[in-house]
Amino acid sequence: MNELTPEQAELLAAAAAARERAYCPYSRFAVGAAVRTASGASFYGCNIENAAYPSTICAERVALFSAYAAGERAIVALAVIADTPEPVTPCGGCRQVMFELAPRAVVILANLRGAWRITSVEDLLPAGFALIDR
């Protein structure tokens, strides 16, 4: 695939806009994310840091948790963007959350230079931990 679909490009643009709202005074590493649900709804997230570092939350989780808080359970796509040399990849904690909350989502990883790649949650976290059947 050489081009993003219009829907994927729109989701990535929404993630880039969400990135602009990141609160990252410690790392200075702003990340944006956006999810789309089967109903067509979109939810956005940015990383939000805290001086008590374990209280920090990643952009991917903000977007996914927002969708779930709104009652949306069928996540079909997730886009993540940051200022990295290659398309950004989610941390291990976010991969596990994606594995449980969005196991079949198309994942678009990108950087600010226009590089992107499409992957799956399964490719990002093969044999993820599960207590319940999905």
The C-alpha atoms of residue 13 and residue 39 are separated, in whole angstroms, by 19
Beta strands in 85-133 (DSSP E): 106-111, 116-120
The C-alpha atoms of residue 51 and residue 56 are separated, in whole angstroms, by 8
> Which is the catalytic residue, given 20, 60, 86, 122?
60
Active site residue 60: yes
DSSP string for 76-106: EEEEEEES-SS-----HHHHHHHHHH-TT-E
Q: Which pair of structure tokens corresponds to residue 118? A: 């499409």
Return the SS3 of 57.
strand
The enclosing H or E element of 133 equals none
Residues marked as catalytic: 60
